[in-house]
Amino acid sequence: MFAEMLRAARELLAVRSPLDAELMVSELLGTWWGEKGPGPRARNTDLDELIGEGLVAYAAQHESPAALALLSGIACLGTPHQAAAAERAALGLIERGIKRPAWAEHVGAVVAADCYMNSDAFGDRDEAVCLFSYGGTTEPHALVLVVDYNASGMLSDGWVTSQVDKLLERCREASGEAAQPGRALPPPDIAPAGPALPFGGPAAWLATLEPESAWAGAEARQRAWSCDRRAMLVAEFLASDEAEDLSDRRAASKCADHIVSYGCEQDFGRPLRMSPAKAETFLLDWLPRKIMLWPAEQDAMPHVLAAWTRWAGRRRGLHAEAVNQTLDAVFGAMGTFTRVYRDPSSFGLDTTLVGRLLPDADLEALPRRAFAFPVLRGHYQGIDLGQLDPAEPEARRTLLAADHDDAHGRPASEQHIRRHLALSDRLWRGDPPELWETAQRLLDRGENRHAVQHTLMYLIRDVGNDTAKLTAELVALP
C-alpha cells in the first residue's frame, strides 16, 4: 500500500503550483483521515497513526525526488506528529543530495486576505468566500465554504478555486450588487455592526436588523432570546391579523412556542426567518422527532405555521412571492405531517403517563425517562404513585423505592436509592448523551434493565463529577 502511494506521489514532480501540490497531498491524506483502525485497538488507535506515520517512515527510506515531494507536502499538511516526522525525514533526504520540487518553498506559506459573505434569498445558507495568496502576492485563490442553517449550521460543502475574479463577479451578479470592496467576516461573538454587505439580499439585510443573527455568538443569542422575550413575540403574533382565524387559541399558543423555540435554538436565534426548506424541516423532521404534541396541537400546527409565515414575512418586509413559496411548502407538507407525526398514544402509551414524563414536551427524552422510572402507577406505602411528578426530587425518591419494593427480599438501602437517584437525574437530563446510548447498547446485548442500571450507576459513583471521564468510561463499555 505504501509503495502504491509513493508511486502516486510522482505526480507531484510535474506540479508547479504550490496550491495544486497542497490539493494533491490533501486528497491523499484525506483517504483515511479520521477513520478508526480495525480490531480491539480501534478505540485508541486511528489510521492517522497507523497509515499516516507509517507512510512517512516508508517514504523516509527511499532516496527519490517523489519521496521528498511527498514528505514536503505532509510536513505542511499532516497531523503534528506526521508533520514533525516528515520534516525530519525531508531534511535528511535533502542532506543526501535529493533535490526538492520548486513549489516546496512556498507550500503552506499562505496569507489571508478579504472574506466575503453571500447569502441566498431566504437565509437558508451562506457561502463564505475566504481569499488567500502565497506570500501575499502570488497565486491568489479562494476557499468557499457553504453553511446550511437548516442542518444546524453544518458545513455542507467546500471547495478551492484559483478563479478568484470570476468567482467574485458571479457572486455579485447573483446578488444584484455592483462590484465593491468586501467586508470582512465579523468575529464569532460579535454581531454585524453595519449594513455594508458585499453580497446578500433579504437575508443579509435581515442580519443588520436582528442582532441575534446567525453570526452572533451562542451566548449573545441566548441572552437576546430570554423566556420573557419569546413569550412577548408569541403574544404579538397571536394578536396579529394573520392569527385571527386560528380558532383554538390555547393550541395555537403552544404551537407558536415551538416555532419560536425552533428558530431560537435550531436556527441561530432567528425565529422570524422562514423559508420553504426551514418549514419542511420543522414540520417533517424536527417536530416528529423532538416534540410531543397533544391531539389539538397536532391539528393546529400546520395552520399556525402558515399564519406565522405570513406574519413573519410582513414583519421582515419580504416580497409576497417569497412568502407564497414558503406557504406552498407548508401546505404541501400538511398531508405528510399527519402521516409522519406519530402520537405517543400510538405506541400503546397512556397520554397522561407520557405527559408526566415529558413536562417539557421533549419527545426524544421519552425512552430514557421511561427506563429511569419504570414504575409510575400503583400504590407504595399508602402513596398513590399515579399522583407523583417524576420531575420532582422527592417524588423520584418514592418512585425508585417503589421500583425496589419486594415483599420477599430486603428493602433497598438509602445509599442504594441515592445512587439510583444520581443515575435517574442524568438520564432525565440526557447528560451526557452517551449514558443513554450505552444503556441501549447493553440492553441490546440481552442485559436486563436493573443490571444495566447498576452498571451505569456504579460507574457514575466511581468517576464522581468528572463528566469527561464518565463519557470515556461509557464509550469503553461493550
Report domain extents, the chain.
2-105, 110-209, 225-341, 351-476
The answer on pLDDT for 231 being more than 60 is yes
Higher model confidence: residue 332 or residue 175?
Answer: 332
Under the banding of pLDDT at 50, 70 and 90, the label for residue 462 is very high
Q: Please report which helix (H) or strand (E) contains residue 113, including its range.
A: strand 110-119
Q: Using a pLDDT cut of 70, give the percent of the chain over it.
A: 84
Q: pLDDT, tens digit, for every residue of 110-157? A: 999 999 888 888 989 988 999 999 987 889 999 999 999 998 889 999
Q: Indicate the pLDDT class of residue 97, thresholds 50, 70 and 90.
A: very high
Q: What is the mean pLDDT of residues 249-262?
A: 96
Q: Is residue 73 over pLDDT 70?
A: yes
Q: What is the pLDDT of residue 34?
A: 63
Q: Say whether pLDDT at 238 is over 80.
A: yes
Q: Are the beta carbons of 472 and 435 closer than 8 angstroms?
A: no
Q: What residues contact residue 180 under an 8 Å CB cut-off, 6+ apart?
A: 198
Q: Say yes or no to pLDDT of 308 above 60.
A: yes
**Does residue 197 register a pLDDT over 90?**
no
305-331 mean pLDDT: 96
In the DSSP assignment, the letter for residue 137 is T
pLDDT at 408 over 50: no
Higher pLDDT, 162 or 171: 162
The pLDDT of residue 118 is: 84
Average pLDDT over residues 428-443: 94
Average pLDDT, the chain: 85
Residues in the chain: 478
**Residues 400, 366: Cα–Cα separation, whole Å:** 17
Residue 102, pLDDT above cutoff 80 = yes
C-alpha span between 443 and 452 (Å, rounded): 7
Q: What CA–CA distance (Å, rounded) separates 64 from 433?
A: 50
Cis peptide before 432 (omega within 30 of 0): yes
Q: What is the mean pLDDT of residues 310-327?
A: 96
Whole-number percent of the chain with pLDDT over 90: 61
**pLDDT score recorded for residue 36:** 61
Burial 77-100 (b: 16+ CB within 10 A, else e): bbbeebbebbbebbeebeeeebee
At residue 279, the pLDDT reads: 97
Q: Which residues contact 27 (CB under 8 A, 6 or more apart)?
A: none
Whether the pLDDT of residue 48 is over 90: the answer is no
**pLDDT single digits (tens) 363-389:** 889 999 999 998 998 999 899 999 999
Rounded average pLDDT over 17-38: 83
Per-residue confidence (pLDDT) for residue 42, from 0 to 100: 46
Q: Is the pLDDT of residue 287 over 90?
A: yes
pLDDT of res. 202: 38
Model confidence at 201: pLDDT above 80: no
The DSSP secondary-structure symbol of 35 reads P
